[in-house]
């Protein structure tokens, strides 16, 4: 018999977070999160997303053992401001048992009906800065700290339960050597003169901080046209600024400003922490932090996390300025591979940005939808 239990206490939520550690034990491609970071993101007193969202966390139990988990999420900004009556679900993991996955999704559907929502979609997080999608191809490649990994049977369960693909995402990579300096340097010089632009590079985190609010404001503007985009609020910006920006190597952040010091483009990349997180095994102490700090200094893989250009400057080649600065930086750091986080397959504009680097699509993922 399988029972569904809501996880509420700190002890229960820790069990919720730890379930994948058992499910993916000895899997060489799964990248574990830091347990305390996951718990903090679920804490209503810490994570400001709960100012306009709510979440409930459930596990499936069989023979006194957790065999599946799911987070049922409602984002009220999405529902009230965009009139999108969507029931979100994420952090969805389960053994290969259709009864387990079905019961967990039925709980999400029940909550959606109670709140008079029209459909459910997942796996997704609270917002567009969270992880997204079920992996459908590329199971033999290591994950990243900003993506979920899953076994191939996940997609089969969704199809058996009548879900359909809602959005498709591609993950691409290319060797750093494909970033050839001469052509982007030439284009960059033309653009700088034509639009009176300046590229900003940083060596200190304190120098970055005055620009972060502008960056997130530009993020909201540049991504607004994408499907299901939910703007990042001011309190969320402050939260992300405190939690993440201070940890990113300043060399990996690039901005472009105009003559009035208004931001017109930004990019955030990170060294890959995948191997370091596997060694840390979900804990910063006593040794996990040293693995992460070593990766921060020495990783030869760069993860392109976010890139945005102000709408009135899009389709003008502004990305060339950013790539030129990364070419200079990554050459000094000895970067070998450039890896991109999931991007919508329908986003032709971003595909055009990367085409000159001959990228390889090495993973695919999607979200699934079902009417309630």
Check: CB of residue 232 under 8 Å from CB of residue 220.
yes
What is the per-residue pLDDT for 228? Answer: 67
pLDDT digits (tens, 9 = 90+) for 200-256: 999 888 899 889 899 999 998 888 777 667 788 888 888 888 877 777 889 999 999
Residues 335-364 have a mean pLDDT of 92
pLDDT digits (tens, 9 = 90+) for 271-282: 999 999 999 999
Distances (CA, A) of 198 to 23, 305, 332, 340: 49, 22, 21, 25
Question: What's the CA gap between 294 and 288, in Å, rounded?
Answer: 10
Residue ranges with strand state E in the chain: 2-7, 53-62, 65-75, 86-94, 119-122, 134-137, 164-175, 198-200, 253-257, 263-271, 301-309, 337-340, 343-344, 360-371
Check: CB of residue 236 under 8 Å from CB of residue 212.
no
Question: What's the CA gap between 261 and 229, in Å, rounded?
Answer: 27
Set out the domains of the chain in order of their start, with CATH numbers: 2-168 (3.40.630.30), 174-371 (3.40.630.30)
Question: What's the CA gap between 333 and 171, in Å, rounded?
Answer: 23
What is the per-residue pLDDT for 129? Answer: 81
The answer, yes or no, to whether residue 50 has pLDDT greater than 70, is yes
Check: CB of residue 134 under 8 Å from CB of residue 154.
yes
**CA quadruple 13, 17, 23, 28: dihedral, nearest 10:** -170
What is the per-residue pLDDT for 351? Answer: 85
Mean pLDDT value across the chain: 94
pLDDT digits (tens, 9 = 90+) for 61-113: 999 999 999 999 999 999 998 889 999 999 999 999 999 999 999 999 999 99
285 burial level (CB within 10 Å; 0-12, 13-18, 19+): exposed
* Residue found by looking up tokens 């995402």 in the block: 169
What is the per-residue pLDDT for 232? Answer: 83
Residues 6+ apart with CB under 8 A from 261: none
Residues 6+ apart with CB under 8 A from 154: 92, 94, 134, 135
| Three-class DSSP labels, 119-180 | EEEECECCCCCCCECEEEECCCCCCCCCCCCCCCHHHHHHHHCCCEEEEEEEEEEEEHHHCC
Tokens found for residue 320: 């060339």
pLDDT digits (tens, 9 = 90+) for 284-299: 999 999 999 999 999 9
1 burial level (CB within 10 Å; 0-12, 13-18, 19+): exposed
Per-residue confidence band for 30, with pLDDT thresholds at 50, 70 and 90: very high
For the entire predicted model, the pTM comes to 0.93
């Amino acid at each position: 018999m399988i029972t569904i239990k809501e996880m509420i206490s700190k002890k229960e939520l820790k069990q919720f977070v730890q379930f994948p550690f058992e499910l993916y034990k000895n899997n060489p491609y799964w990248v574990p999160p830091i347990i305390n970071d996951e718990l903090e993101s679920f804490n209503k007193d810490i994570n400001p997303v709960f100012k306009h969202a709510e979440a409930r966390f459930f596990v499936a139990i069989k023979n006194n053992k957790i065999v599946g988990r799911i987070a049922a999420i409602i984002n009220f900004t999405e529902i009230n401001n965009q009139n999108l009556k969507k029931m979100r679900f994420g952090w969805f993991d389960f053994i290969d048992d259709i009864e387990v996955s079905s019961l967990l999704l039925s709980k999400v559907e029940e909550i959606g009906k109670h709140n008079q929502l029209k459909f459910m979609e997942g796996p997704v997080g609270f917002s567009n800065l969270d992880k997204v999608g079920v992996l459908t191809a590329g199971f033999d490649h290591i994950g990243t700290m900003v993506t979920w990994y899953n076994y191939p049977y996940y997609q089969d369960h969704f199809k058996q339960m009548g879900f359909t693909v809602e959005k498709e995402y591609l993950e691409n990579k290319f060797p750093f050597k494909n970033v050839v300096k001469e052509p982007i340097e030439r284009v960059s010089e033309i653009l700088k003169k034509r639009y009176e632009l300046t590229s900003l590079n940083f060596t200190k985190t304190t120098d970055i901080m005055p620009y972060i609010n502008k960056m997130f404001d530009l993020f909201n503007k540049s991504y607004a046209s994408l499907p299901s985009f939910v703007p990042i609020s001011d309190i969320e910006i402050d939260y992300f600024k405190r939690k993440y920006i201070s940890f990113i190597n300043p060399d990996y952040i690039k901005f472009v400003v105009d003559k009035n010091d208004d931001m017109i483009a930004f990019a955030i990349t990170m060294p890959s922490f995948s191997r370091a997180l596997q060694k840390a095994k979900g804990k910063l102490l006593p040794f996990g932090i040293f693995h992460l700090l070593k990766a921060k200094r020495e990783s030869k893989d760069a993860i392109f996390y976010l890139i945005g250009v102000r709408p009135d400057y899009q389709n003008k080649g502004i990305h060339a300025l950013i790539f030129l600065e990364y070419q200079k930086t990554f050459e000094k750091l000895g970067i070998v591979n450039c890896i991109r986080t999931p991007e919508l397959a329908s986003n032709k504009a971003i595909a055009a940005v990367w085409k000159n680097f001959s990228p390889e699509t090495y993973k695919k993922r999607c979200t699934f939808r079902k009417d309630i």
